[in-house]
Amino acid sequence: MKKFQCIQFTETLFMILDSFVMILVKYNSTSMRRFLLPQRLLLLGLKSELSAMIAARRFPFWPVPLLVWIEMHLLIEEMVIMTSIPSTCKQPLELSSGSSGSPVIDKQGRAVALNAGGSVSSSSAFYLHLERVVRALTFLQKSKDACKNKWEEVSIPRGTLQVTFLHKGFDETRRLGLPKETEQMVRQASAPGETGMLVVDSVVPCGPADRQLESGDVLVHVNGEVTTQFLKLEALLDDNVDKKIELQIERGGTSLTFSIVVQDLHSITPDYFLEVSGAVIHSLSYQQARNFCFQCGLVYVSNPGYMLSRAGIPRHAIIKKFADDEISQLEDVISVLSKLCRGDRVPLEYISYKDRHRRKSALVTIDRHEWYDAPKIYTRDDSSGLWIARPAIQPPTLQLSPCSSNVTQGLNSQSSLLNSESTPAEGTDQANNQELTHDIMITEASYEHISEEAHSREECDVETNKQQVQENLSSDEIAAADLSLPEIGEMKLETQGTTEITVSNGYEGVSAAETNASFAECVVEPTLVKMEVNVPPSCLLDGIHSVHSSGTGVVVHHSEDMGLVAIDKNTVQTSACDVMLSFAAFPIEIPGEVVFLHPVYNYALVAYDPSALGAVGASMVRAAELLPVPALCRGDPIYLIGLSKNQRAKSRKSFVTNPYVTLNVGHADPPRYRAINMEVIELDTDFGNAFTGVLCNEHGKVQAIWGSFSNKPKSCNTTSKDHQFVRGVPIYMISQVLDKIISGANGPALLINGVKRSMPLVRTLEAELYSRLLSKARSFGLGDEWIQRLVKKDPMRRQVLRVKGCLAGSNTENLLKQGDMLLAINKEPVTCFQDIENACQALENCVDSDGKLKITICRQGAEVDLLVGTDIRDGNGTMRAISWCGCLVQDPHSAVRALGFLPGEGHGVYAAMWCRGSPAERYALGALIWIVQVNGKPTPDLDAFVNVTKGLRYDEFVRVKTINLDGEATCANFEAGLALLAYMGVEI
């Protein structure tokens, strides 16, 4: 009793001294610290000698998502570390991340333990005894001596009962029913100072001790020996692998004896795993089986990657059924994959450790674009210590699904792999899960998490906006059409006058009055499409800030061989994505392909195969009637129409407040696409920042798409609404490109639905412009004569366009300067962006054109005539990227060039992002940089970069010269072996 009181007294003194030390550290009192810290050391020595009770504390709880590969049967000794920790620190300085496994040295310089972990809330550490470590080292030394300096595979026997024991004091074992006689016998047979016994805490289902041992059983004898310490139990288990041992326990005062076969721990430790589309799947290990109370060997999702996370399957899921086949082992998953085709959508059933009693189902889409390498099996080679990769299924097996072959024929040539020769890999460098997203992709500190919620088209947080406008609107102006009747027929739509229009709808005839929908809504609804977009983590190009987005598009072309849908670029950010289309006119979901991304304007065109709709669906879906002219004017009535989350049309009658608002979106960090040189439409009321659709007149003719625009967040702690806003994109911007696609353009050919079509090229003046009122322009030196000419040209806008900056590497660079005011092109006054676009298009029609514009500018009050070249861009976006050392490398995209800087050394290639755990992270290569040299050889473009990196030898070091966005040059050093193992080239 005195001993226990002494322990309590010592603990109290520790708390008091710790409080004083923390205060003195805070106020930097050195003299008092010199006095108190030696006193704390004396108490530390006293504490270590008092009792084994303190030394036998329970190991701290680790979060379940962490794979704690620590044998829980070892006795963990707690030793309090003396350290001065500021109040702002979250963990002891001596126990920083990565210190696990480091030796603990006594004052004679001898290693006495290994660092195992630490407590976050206090300055405490937990160490592992060295007895079992020395045993393993002995096996290794004997193997080396026997093999004459040649290392071979060494098997270190490890046994387990799949049972977790806890060391509990005798007072607690008595409460569990331990007889006094047994306790007295154990005390006499144990070492002096023994304070407790081993008690069963948990038993893994279907393990060797299942249905024999139970929680609360007190262990007395193992093979006739009294066993109260973990080390002794571990020694008995390791020495009797695949043999029976006899365990005597006390259960509620009853003595029981069991004969149990000791299982080989290596047999239930996975030595191979399957990697498919970034997902890592393997057999459930003993460590995780103990954490989750599942049996070992179940098919376990370690990382859902792209394919499974896209279907909503979480990490730590247990797969039970795949494509209607029961799954009991990893080979069953591989067998199912071998029967499937690319693009197939099959059901998958799984359970979660948080909800183990109910199966959940998801629809998994087999990767049809090959964003990732083919499925592979990685097997651990114990003789070399490496993981050897081999194909999981034969390459010809995974063919394109017939249901999606038409829509993707030819387009998959954009996704060809440039893999190097198969080599052993110590790990994978592919970006896997978006759990957000989270512990995989990094670009810089301010962009550490890729938020899946940053751009969602869900109708969240718009109720407030609805209430603000519903008071001013009549009930017939806010309606949702319910056209869900299954019978096929015709719908008669009547305008407010006497005109009657019959629209083939495919549902039972329902009049506009019966559905409480406006005439415009009923006309437009069959043209609307709900679009779901998923971007693979391996293809986060161009500074993309979202891996999932959704929005409403409109069918702008629908024929027998091709359909086209127009949508904003904040929803479809890149061509390297998977797009699924859901049509309002017919309940079906089909894949689409991005065929055009406008290099300047905020819209994209997505193609689909009309034959995939079926005969009925193809007849019901129709293209919207576009009305590019006349342009909208202030005060014009307009209908805003889109789709809700449940695929029902929503509309609102509104009024145009400003038809030519000049966008001025700031630079994002990291750089990504932002709309520039655009005039958009503003309305007096809408459905909030999450709602997209179209703007049409009362006859249902589309005059603009109501799209989402990416916005620069005002602060780090922002929601998805702060990253976007909605405005109207005039339909003339889309119709110009659409006409060229249909009639045949002069650009590169693209195979769409088996038909080669020439895609248009866009000639543009690559300078960022903004509008300035003429009243302000006068202060910058603009003369009265030009002011009068500009007012006469456009009396409504009364503005002049001013240069904000030129894109680096463009033909305008070094000609136009910041602050220049554009007055005229070819002697014609210029007042808006459309005037510049019309001048660029006129160059296309001019046979002898050299691609230059005669521009009159006002620079510092003087009128200057310049001959400025234009640039030609396609609508493909970024088509090529290289994944090297876990770093995604591409050509600098327009958002980066808009910063106005490119390295002078041949520009270099741009590192868009890097992956956690990769050599790029280990050697601090970073992202948002240009790689200009590798081993002194310049890398001005991707071809040069590939040639240099492929020539690296395994035994050499790599020097990488980089330049960041501020123009600062740095050098990173790589170990070539890791660099080669992590090399993979992907051409998108």
The amino acid at residue 335 is S
Selection from 948, 913, 6, 8 nearest residue 543 by Cα: 913
pLDDT band at 421 (very low <50, low <70, confident <90, very high): very low
pLDDT above 80: residue 675: yes
* Distance between CA atoms of residues 972 and 969, nearest Å: 10
Interatomic CA distance for residues 685 and 683, integer angstroms: 6
Identify the pLDDT of residue 404: 52
Instruction: Supply the pTM of this predicted model.
Output: 0.78
* Local confidence band at 639 (pLDDT 50, 70, 90 cut-offs): very high
CB 801 within 8 A of CB 769: yes
Q: Is the model's pLDDT at 883 over the cut of 70?
A: yes
- Lowest-pLDDT choice from 192-201, 283-292, 512-521, 796-805: 512-521
Average pLDDT score over residue span 893-921: 86
Matching residue, tokens 């990094």:
442
Token digits of residue 827? 């002697």
More confident residue, 748 or 693: 693
pLDDT higher than 80, residue 435: no
pLDDT exceeds cutoff 60 at 176: yes
pLDDT of residue 123: 62
Radius of gyration for the alpha carbons in the chain, expressed in angstroms and rounded? 35
pLDDT at 929 over 70: yes
Tokens 């034959």 correspond to: 611
Give residue 37's pLDDT band: very low, low, confident or very high (50, 70, 90). Answer: very low
Q: Is 903 within 8 Å of 963 (Cβ atoms)?
A: yes
pLDDT computed for residue 450 by the predictor: 36
Does 11 have pLDDT greater than 50?
no
What value does the mean pLDDT of the chain take?
Answer: 78
With a cut of 80, say whether residue 2 has pLDDT above it: no
Q: Are 327 and 320 in contact (CB under 8 A)?
A: yes
pLDDT on residue 400: 59
pLDDT category, 973, cuts 50, 70, 90? Answer: confident
What pLDDT does 119 receive?
A: 66
Give the Cβ contact number of residue 521 at 10 Å: 28
Specify whether the CB–CB gap between 911 and 889 falls below 8 A.
Answer: yes
Residue 465 has pLDDT above 60, yes or no: no
Most confident by average pLDDT, 78-82, 312-316, 384-388: 312-316
Among 94-108, 405-419, 923-937, top mean pLDDT goes to 923-937
Helix axes 230-238, 131-147, angle to 10 degrees: 30
Is 50 exceeded by the pLDDT of residue 202?
Answer: yes
- Is 832's pLDDT higher than 90? yes
Maximum distance among all Cα pairs of the chain, rounded to whole angstroms: 113
| Average pLDDT of the segment spanning 320-329 | 95
Q: How far is CA 231 from CA 114, 291, 354, 371, in A?
A: 15, 22, 33, 49
Q: Would you say the C-alpha torsion 427, 431, 432, 435 has a positive or negative sign?
A: positive
Q: Which of 14-23, 67-76, 136-145 has the highest mean pLDDT?
A: 136-145
Tens digit of each residue's pLDDT (9 = 90 or more) over 508-546:
444 444 557 889 999 999 999 999 999 998 888 998 878
* Predicted confidence (pLDDT) at residue 236 exceeds the cutoff of 60: yes
Least confident of 40-49, 108-117, 783-792: 40-49
Q: Is the sign of the CA dihedral 419, 422, 423, 428 positive or negative?
A: positive
Given a cut of 50, is residue 482 above it in pLDDT?
A: no
The secondary structure of 540-601 as a DSSP string is --TT---SEEEEEEEEEEE-SS-EEEEE-TTTS--SSSEEEEEESSSS-EEEEEEEEE-SSS
Of residues 383 and 503, the one with the higher pLDDT is 383
Q: Is 631 helix (H, G, I), strand (E, B) or coil?
A: coil
Whether the predicted pLDDT of 724 surpasses 60: yes
Contact indicator for 614, 599 with CB cutoff of 8 Å = no
pLDDT in tens, 738-754: 999 998 877 888 888 88
Between 52 and 208, the higher pLDDT residue: 208
Ranking 47-61, 363-377, 816-830 by mean pLDDT, the lowest is 47-61
Q: State the pLDDT at residue 13.
A: 44
pLDDT band at 29 (very low <50, low <70, confident <90, very high): very low
Query: Residue 246: pLDDT above 90?
Result: yes
Q: Whose structure tokens read 């030609």?
A: 872
Euclidean distance between CA atoms 33 and 30, whole angstroms: 5
Q: How many CB atoms lie within 10 A of CB 822?
A: 24
Q: How many residues does the chain have?
A: 988
Q: Which residues contact 91 (CB under 8 A, 6 or more apart)?
A: 118, 120
Whether 470 shows a pLDDT value over 70: the answer reads: no
Residue 424 pLDDT class (50, 70, 90 cuts): very low
Please give the residue that has the higher pLDDT: either 143 or 945: 945
State whether residue 83 is helix, strand or coil: coil
Greater confidence (394 vs 2) lies with 394
pLDDT band of residue 818 (cuts 50, 70, 90) is very high
| Percentage above 90 pLDDT, the chain | 53
**Mean pLDDT value across residues 884-905:** 88
Q: Tell me: pLDDT of 15 over 60.
A: no
Whether the pLDDT of residue 453 is over 50: the answer is: no
pLDDT tier for residue 706 given thresholds of 50, 70 and 90: very high
- Res 922: pLDDT: 82
670: preceding bond cis by omega (within 30 degrees): yes
pLDDT band at 96 (very low <50, low <70, confident <90, very high): low
